[in-house]
């Protein structure tokens, strides 16, 4: 009886579901799924699994979820697995289906919140392995604010010849140029994805895994383990057990996801040359956690943080090679020692970031994956926030310096991703063009599709340094070249990008941080007066609901930005 009283104190939520004679019906149903008498006195840990056979990123997560349950059970809790959805960006890119990708982030967050809130779990382990289910898990943990940990499903191993999914996308463009025949494209297709795990460069999945670890919401090194490895199974077991410790400490996500913790996450994204999608997802997570975070914060942090990682897509190395030299922990220690991280931030270990890094060793000598602070790839951030008459509320570019720092050219306007891709593959795009893809924003798409197919085709066609692409949509973490996304306001709500005509001159200046349509104010006003908003592309279902509720990309494209 005394043990039951002790455990009741820890069971802040589950006791309302299973304690007392009036809850006999609930206990009866739980017995059918494996609960024993003693389990009702244990803190319950919900394990949110994003397992699915729709994508290699998540095909192994059922086994990781079982490992987390084992960890929770061994630590004195009762682990319970439940599932949520996932979709695949890599499969749907370039199709109408990609409109569901960013939408799925909200669906995942909603579903995890719904199950945990209904079932009364006392703690949560959320396991994600692909671009949108990872921030979806993070949003849910922040909303629920119950002791919880995020676990990354892990990165994929490289394909034959140091290839990955981006190699396949770029092979399509190389074939259109005539550099690869169909047999060569098929050979790359057949070997680039050797098994389970998330895309192998510093694309969105590995970027977000690293950001979430720096945020303090994953155990140390969770971001730097291969999907199929003993270390990843152990990471999941430790997470299941650690949630019980968090329940004991009453340490919750919003205690960890502070303003300074988000600054740490942004710092790591910059140092790793991470995906522009991190801007969107960190803004959304901060909103959900009740932390004030804006595009200006990315600008300010970017002024003092260098790019140090030579990782794909703009660099040479893959995540598996970074894992071999120690992952991101040595990088974090370097940044901490230089005063670029807030060491006092609490983490899911129950210790501060600085305490977690005390025993971290340096990278092996001679490695070139992570540069020294005295030899950066770029002295400031590759994530450049641009403003001007074409993006008065901001736009986000990924400029490593390899693309150049300024681009001026004539606009080629497209009202969808597909029309632009067709023009690229047909050969009608020439050096000096600025491709404008509009009506692909959060509301206009709806869903803010990634432009991976067009950007990869541009690179494959050999135009990566000769053509710019701007959009109110967004980019895959695998996109590179002179590309600008997240242009706000978007075309659907009458933003200036809706007013561009073929042949207009556009100047993008990464040093001045401007993006300008070379037209007078009066000409823009005349065009605006004659502009009419297109009707919604969807009038029923999840895409229609999303279009009505989603906020601007400059505010994270969240669906719960309500005035109170």
Tell me, what DSSP letter sits at residue 362? P
Do 134 and 209 meet the contact criterion of CB atoms below 8 Å apart? yes
**Sequence-ordered list of residues with C-beta below 8 angstroms from that of 549, at least 6 positions apart, any chain:** 559, 560
DSSP state of 307: B
Compute the half-sphere exposure of residue 244: CA atoms within 13 Å on the CB side of its CA. 20
* 167 in active site: no
Q: Which of 476, 551, 552, 554 is catalytic?
A: 476
C-alpha span between 168 and 165 (Å, rounded): 5
Do the Cβ atoms of 240 and 45 come closer than 8 Å? yes
Collapsing DSSP to helix, strand or coil, 132 comes out as coil
CA distance 98 to 537: 14
Query: Do 168 and 192 contact (CB within 8 A), yes or no?
Result: yes
Q: Is 300 exposed, middle or buried (0-12, 13-18, 19+ CB in 10 A)?
A: middle
Other beta carbons within 10 angstroms of residue 49's beta carbon come to 27
461 alpha-carbon distance from chain centroid: 28
Instruction: Please name the residue ranges forming H helices in 33-132.
Output: 61-74, 89-92, 99-119
d(CA 490, CA 446): 11
Catalytic residues: 476
């Amino acid at each position: 009886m005394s043990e039951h009283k002790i455990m009741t104190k820890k069971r802040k939520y589950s006791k309302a579901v299973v304690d007392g004679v009036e809850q006999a019906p609930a206990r009866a149903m739980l017995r059918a799924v494996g609960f024993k008498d003693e389990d009702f006195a244990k803190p319950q840990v919900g394990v949110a699994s994003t397992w699915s056979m729709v994508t290699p990123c998540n095909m192994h997560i059922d086994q990781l979820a079982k490992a987390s349950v084992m960890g929770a059970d061994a630590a004195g809790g009762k682990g319970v697995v439940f599932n949520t959805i996932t979709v695949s960006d890599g499969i749907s890119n370039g199709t109408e289906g990609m409109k569901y990708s960013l939408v799925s982030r909200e669906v995942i967050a909603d579903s995890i919140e719904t199950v945990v809130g209904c079932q009364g779990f006392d703690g949560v382990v959320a396991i994600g392995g692909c671009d949108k289910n990872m921030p979806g898990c993070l949003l849910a943990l922040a909303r629920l604010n119950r002791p919880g940990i995020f676990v990354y499903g892990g990165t994929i191993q490289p394909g034959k010849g140091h290839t990955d999914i981006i190699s396949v996308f770029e092979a399509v463009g190389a074939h259109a140029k005539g550099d690869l025949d169909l047999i060569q494209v098929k050979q790359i297709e057949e070997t680039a994805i050797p098994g389970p795990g998330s895309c192998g460069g510093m694309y969105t999945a590995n970027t977000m895994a690293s950001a979430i670890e720096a945020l303090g919401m994953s155990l140390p090194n969770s971001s730097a383990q291969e999907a199929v490895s003993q270390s990843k199974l152990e990471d999941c077991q430790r997470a299941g057990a650690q949630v019980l410790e968090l329940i004991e400490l009453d340490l919750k996500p919003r205690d960890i996801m502070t303003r300074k913790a988000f600054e740490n996450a942004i710092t790591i994204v910059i140092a790793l040359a991470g995906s522009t999608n991190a801007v969107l997802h960190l803004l959304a997570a901060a909103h959900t956690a009740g932390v004030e975070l804006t595009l200006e914060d990315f600008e300010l942090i970017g002024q003092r943080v260098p790019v140090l990682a030579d990782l794909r897509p703009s660099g040479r190395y893959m995540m598996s090679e970074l894992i071999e030299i120690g992952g991101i922990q040595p990088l974090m220690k370097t940044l901490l020692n230089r005063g670029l991280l807030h060491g006092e931030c609490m983490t899911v270990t129950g210790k501060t970031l600085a305490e977690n890094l005390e025993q971290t060793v340096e990278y092996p000598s001679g490695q070139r994956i992570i540069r020294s602070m005295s030899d950066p790839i770029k002295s400031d951030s590759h994530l450049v926030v641009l403003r001007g008459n074409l993006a008065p509320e901001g736009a986000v570019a990924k400029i490593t310096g390899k693309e150049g720092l300024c681009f001026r050219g004539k606009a080629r306007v497209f009202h969808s991703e597909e029309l632009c891709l067709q023009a690229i593959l047909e050969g009608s795009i020439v050096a000096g063009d600025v491709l404008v893809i509009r009506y692909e924003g959060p509301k206009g798409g709806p869903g803010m599709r990634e432009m991976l197919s067009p950007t990869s085709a541009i690179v494959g066609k050999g135009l990566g340094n000769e053509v710019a692409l701007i959009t109110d949509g967004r980019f895959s973490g695998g996109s590179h070249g002179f590309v600008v996304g997240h242009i706000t306001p978007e075309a659907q709500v009458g933003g200036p990008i809706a007013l561009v005509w073929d042949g207009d001159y556009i100047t993008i200046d990464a040093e001045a941080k401007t993006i300008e349509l070379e037209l007078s104010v009066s000409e823009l006003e005349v065009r605006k007066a004659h502009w009419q908003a297109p009707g919604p592309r969807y009038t029923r279902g999840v895409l229609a609901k999303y279009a009505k509720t989603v906020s601007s990309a400059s505010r994270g494209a969240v669906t719960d930005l309500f005035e109170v």
